[in-house]
Chain A
């Protein structure tokens, strides 16, 4: 829905259109209504806090962020990389979930003063990095630290990371989902067997193993099915459990103890499985992962007026949060940036008192916010699209898309996807369960991240883009909603070689 405040007169100026996007709001929980937004902005205009030229180019996006923990203030001014010139939009994004009743006018006034923060840097923020693509942001270093020091985090919170998931456990463990997955693989093996093409070793790979629970359940089920049919495929299985965390791999052993002779535990980078497993190129019949792609480094881009803009971000904590956190951890506020750097290097031991170190980690992560700036890709000679994509391909994909589309590039997911496909046996398939956006138009219908989940980042995965890249490379990609838990937001992506 697009709302326009048309032709308002103000002094000698006739104010042109203001674009108000409501696509991302929720009816029941939107505190900031369209009416409040319009009234507040017109007040700011009348009071002189907003210039007519800025008003004329206003684009206001009303979001409703489903992640309680995220990187956004209630009001976010998306900068245009410098002076507001030409036809550039003056973009304000409002998280209606965060706006307290009656506070919108003041919050907007604060946010638009100054309207061009580059010219008058906001002083109440402590910046932790310069503007850069999100993929390179310090936020992902926090994410890495979380997975490396998961036990530390779990000890403090008293709950395992799976308990932080919606539903309290991984959807990947649902018995019905596992039964269907096993059935698919068994049927494939049966078909190969019928054609006398069954390999002597049947390789399967799980990328991102968690506690190993899914693989254990999967193997239990496969053995039962195999024995029931008397096909004797189970002994041919070679199940590879791949994860970049050695401690996670170690922890997963217990879950597959009944099948340990069939299992191998392999340290691999989810971004580049083929690098570790190149000896299995075109050999693996079944590759699976659950909620791995949504946690891989990502970029966001905007398609506007036939151009692609990169969303550059700059992480910061507010001065108020910094003062509070520094006081709780007994060090000067000015030491926040260097303490963050140290935290990301060594974890909670960054502070002499480890308990304080954990508090610092959790509080600074909670307080971490980001400013945003749009940069024309043409002005970024080193803008790197993920392998399989180029500006030409992107423009080709986007040429029929609606204007003003902001979406995840899913750089890490694309990289992982592209570097997994060569492992597939010609008849093999890749199953990925994740929070996919399967149609680019859906990006206009809701907020898709990033958010925070415990100490990690959670981000929707641009399934539509993955499908485009895969199809250009000779693969067919299909998405099916995860039907095994009511209300699940995840889908299963099924990828096979095109016949």
Chain B
């Protein structure tokens, strides 16, 4: 499908229903079966896809509703990583995990998630993967000589997984690396590992870098200036950054460094339940176009909608789409 100018999409996650959290707890208490839980997940994902379609998004995701959070879903699948399942008190918390030996090559099974998404939408689809740098920051490293070494091996395993995703039909893959913002000193090796991750992967690659969204709150504050110039070496096609909550000051960096990538511009504040108006969204897009040509822009929320109530998340997607339509019209599209 040919995308319009200013295509709209989610960063990845959609609103996590409270009942899904409770049902997951029921599953761990062995009151519902794995088969039941799978069916519940399938149903929730279908509903998330439908909401995105109704809202009018051009590219949809599976809403990441099979994932407790952006870390555990991958950590649990990574071979050689030990997970302490007694270590978290609440659903959204992260497990304590550690790596005691070299991570072996193994499939992670993400292709099945993507196939399900493709089977349930006629729209363009995107899948998001948590990147090696962010995973490394949540796994206690008891084997590798450095975080970089651990991240490199995770990238090696996940590179194979990304290629499996491409085989399954993925044309647009997003790598989530919010922990860059918490550890700006890592950015040089972070980009190096990112490039290993996407080496030979025949798909459009975006890298999403925000300031954290754990429990719907930022984990860090600062400026995207730390990304430059290192990020310019990334072998990706798109940077996905948050601007709605933080303001558009860092858009100047795109002019200053003549950034070659597309920009996935966050124009919806996911840390505030107040629903923006379409006019506000349009104004944010106009401001972005002054720094990045419209032809190189994707329109997104700042981050995942995981922690927003469903009605708020849906309303935010609707105004985002409407805001993009307003600007498209102004551009004569």
Contact = CB atoms under 8 A, between A and B. Distances in A.
Contacts of A199: 221
B272 A426 contact: no
A426 B215 contact: no
B1 to A, nearest CB: 38
Nearest to B89: A471
Contact of A282 (B22, B90, B215, B218): B218
A281 B272 contact: yes
A497 B271 contact: no
Interface string B202-224: 00000000011011111111100
A281 B221 CA distance: 12
B-side interface mostly: loop
B252 interface: no
A22 to B, nearest CB: 34
B217 A426 contact: yes
Nearest to B214: A474
Question: What bracket does the count of chain A residues touching chain B fall in?
Answer: 10 to 19
B90 A472 contact: yes
A474 B92 contact: yes
Contacts of B221: 197, 199, 282-283, 425-427
B93 interface: yes
A498 B218 contact: no
Question: What bracket does the count of chain B residues touching chain A fall in?
Answer: 20 to 34
A384 interface: no
Given A282-B271, A471-B90, A422 B217 contact: yes
Interface string A461-499: 000000000011111000000000000000000000110
Interface in B223-270: 245
A191 B44 CA distance: 43
Which among B184, B220, B221 has the greatest number of chain A C-beta atoms within 10 A? B221
A280 to B, nearest CB: 12
B217 A282 contact: yes
Contacts of B218: 282, 426
Contacts of A392: 22
Nearest to A274: B272
Contact of A197 (B89, B214, B220): B220
A426 B212 contact: yes
Contacts of A426: 211-212, 217-221
Contact of B215 (A196, A281, A283, A473): A473
Contacts of A472: 90
A475 B214 CA distance: 10
Contacts of B212: 426
A474 B215 contact: yes
Contacts of A498: 93, 214-215
B93 A197 contact: no
Interface in A414-435: 422, 425-427
Nearest to A192: B221
B222 A197 contact: yes
Interface string A423-456: 0011100000000000000000000000000000
Interface string B34-55: 0000000000000000000000
Contacts of B93: 498
Contacts of A473: 215
B174 to A, nearest CB: 23
Nearest to B215: A474
A383 B60 CA distance: 40
Interface string A328-339: 000000000000
Which among A197, A199, A425 has the greatest number of chain B C-beta atoms within 10 A? A197
Interface string A214-245: 00000000000000000000000000000000
Nearest to B93: A498
Contacts of A471: 89-90
A497 B217 contact: yes
Contacts of B245: 282
Contacts of B272: 281
Interface string A275-287: 0000001110000
Given A427-B221, A474-B217, 15 more contacts: A197-B220, A199-B221, A281-B271, A392-B22, A422-B217, A426-B211, A426-B218, A426-B220, A427-B220, A471-B89, A472-B90, A474-B92, A497-B214, A498-B214, A498-B215
7 contacts: A196-B184, A282-B218, A426-B211, A426-B220, A427-B220, A497-B217, A498-B214
Listed from nearest, the 7 A-B pairs whose CB atoms lie closest are: A474-B215, A426-B218, A426-B219, A282-B218, A426-B220, A197-B222, A472-B90
